[in-house]
Chain A
């Protein structure tokens, strides 16, 4: 019933798609972490305006479906701003901004879970805000944040498949392309699903292990 020769015959296309998927996973996680850190710290700021803006960002991106964000950035934003946005940039911006809202919440919660006495002690030593954050609060908070960050990043990898809708040639896009001329969707999509499983199951197990060691740190 299964004839996987269509997969092996088109391995180069699948390989290209896999690289694109991994590439967007890595760069959007990196950009998302950076934006998330900034937005997370904004939410914790003593300035009400900054905190409010951070809150707005999170609620905005968290409550719009990712597919809508991607389509909007690709099709509506260029008209809105009167500029050209390539599908690559649209995908990068949409995915990064979306995951950043979740990272921001994880960071905020992680930082808030640290005993205020730690801030007191660091402040009493004469540390500046930056020193307190980077020397005392974040090193402790990050350990607690590793499990949820890992979980969100795994979701992010799966979410990159939505890029195929705006014709970025990721794994799923290549799959639909191959099935369009081989007429063998069953083998192709089965293979794609298996590839995600092979990539993500070890990562999930690793995240679970980190979670356990994270508990010991507390």
Chain B
């Protein structure tokens, strides 16, 4: 029982007075015999922008994929907007059977953006954005199309609605993917290294789109290697190391005055290359150029 201190309380939140916005308790994750997360707690408040950093293999992407249950943890609990998405105790006794339909419903409260965009190649940009609302939420097609056009315009892609993903640049595809996630009116947007697969000159436009999203008060959890971006946009930076949260706090603290030795060396790499704000300077430059 001690091993999962919050586990018992999580299922009660449905009746309790406090609705957790996004809360992960004691998340453990195994891929076969290999354990990658060792009891991670993460609570995200409404409107908060949390950036997960860490070297590769630290478990940051695995953790992000747990939030919408693309990865099924071996134990722990996940609560999104007051709904329990997952709950299982380490002993295997307190496993809560949550019906698949319920899992899908709760999942649709999150939007996700992937490293490789993962747009549906057989649909146009507009159809990609409409797909969730029409198929999952059974929204009226006309209404969904109007909303999709709005979202596309907000991403600066109003002209590209009828193009197929292969006709768009990486940066444009990723912005369509952001709009696709937003179309579900999610409570929280999850970003899995959204700029890692982009050509350097296209990184800025995607980061700008994410920055303006953050300004609208959207709750965001972002996995990224762009330290400069993390510094600018994050309310809180979480450093993962070997499957546990090693350090977290405001970016000015975590990134400029790290305490954990491994975080120190992780951040120093960026100091040395004077890289900290490079992406942002570039984004600003391209903004002025337009």
Q: With A and B bound together, what is the CA distance between A128 and B108 in angstroms?
A: 11
Q: With A and B bound together, what is the CA distance between A125 and B131 in angstroms?
A: 9
Q: With A and B bound together, what is the CA distance between A118 and B184 in angstroms?
A: 17
Residues of chain B with a CB closer than 8 A to A217's CB: 121-122
B266 at the interface (CB under 8 A from A): no
Q: Are A124 and B131 in contact (CB under 8 A)?
A: no
Q: Are A128 and B111 in contact (CB under 8 A)?
A: no
Of B101, B112, B135, B190, which contacts A135 at CB under 8 A?
B135
Q: Are B120 and A126 in contact (CB under 8 A)?
A: no
Contact status of A124 and B116, CB under 8 A, knowing A135-B135, A140-B122: no
Residues of chain B with a CB closer than 8 A to A120's CB: 70, 112, 114, 118
B132 at the interface (CB under 8 A from A): yes
Chain A interface size band reads 20 to 34
Q: How many residues of B contact A (CB 8 A)?
A: 27
B136 at the interface (CB under 8 A from A): yes
How distant is A57 from chain B, measured CB to nearest CB, in Å?
Answer: 26
**Which A112-168 residues sit within 8 Å CB-CB of chain B?**
115, 117-118, 120-129, 131, 135-136, 139-140, 143
Residues of chain A with a CB closer than 8 A to B120's CB: 118, 121-122, 136, 140
Q: Are B122 and A124 in contact (CB under 8 A)?
A: no
Q: Are A124 and B104 in contact (CB under 8 A)?
A: no
Of A118, A128, A143, which contacts B104 at CB under 8 A?
A128
Of B116, B121, B122, B136, which contacts A125 at CB under 8 A?
B136
Q: Residues on B close to A: CB < 8 A?
A: 68, 70, 100-101, 104-105, 107-108, 110-112, 114, 116, 118-122, 131-132, 135-136, 177, 180-181, 184, 190
25 A–B pairs (Cβ distance < 8 Å), ordered by A: A118-B118, A120-B70, A120-B112, A120-B118, A121-B114, A121-B119, A121-B120, A122-B120, A124-B107, A124-B112, A124-B190, A125-B132, A125-B135, A125-B180, A126-B104, A126-B132, A126-B184, A127-B132, A127-B135, A127-B136, A128-B104, A131-B135, A131-B136, A136-B120, A217-B121
Q: With A and B bound together, what is the CA distance between A135 and B127 in angstroms?
A: 11
Q: Are B110 and A124 in contact (CB under 8 A)?
A: yes
How distant is B132 from chain A, measured CB to nearest CB, in Å?
Answer: 4
How distant is A155 from chain B, measured CB to nearest CB, in Å?
Answer: 28
Q: With A and B bound together, what is the CA distance between A120 and B136 in angstroms?
A: 15
Q: Are B114 and A117 in contact (CB under 8 A)?
A: yes
Q: Are B112 and A121 in contact (CB under 8 A)?
A: yes
How distant is B120 from chain A, measured CB to nearest CB, in Å?
Answer: 6
How distant is B228 from chain A, measured CB to nearest CB, in Å?
Answer: 27
Residues of chain A with a CB closer than 8 A to B110's CB: 124
Q: With A and B bound together, what is the CA distance between A123 and B116 in angstroms?
A: 15
Contact status of A125 and B184, CB under 8 A, knowing A131-B136, A135-B131: yes
Residues of chain A with a CB closer than 8 A to B177's CB: 121
Nearest to A131 among chain B residues (CB) is: B135
Nearest to B134 among chain A residues (CB) is: A135
Q: With A and B bound together, what is the CA distance between A129 and B101 in angstroms?
A: 10
Q: Are B108 and A126 in contact (CB under 8 A)?
A: yes
Q: Are A140 and B119 in contact (CB under 8 A)?
A: no
Nearest to B101 among chain A residues (CB) is: A128
Other than A117-B114, A122-B120, A128-B100, give 18 A-B pairs with Cβ distance below 8 A: A115-B118, A117-B116, A120-B114, A120-B118, A121-B180, A124-B68, A124-B70, A124-B107, A124-B181, A125-B131, A125-B136, A125-B184, A126-B105, A126-B108, A127-B132, A129-B100, A139-B122, A140-B120
Nearest to B183 among chain A residues (CB) is: A125
Q: Are A127 and B104 in contact (CB under 8 A)?
A: yes
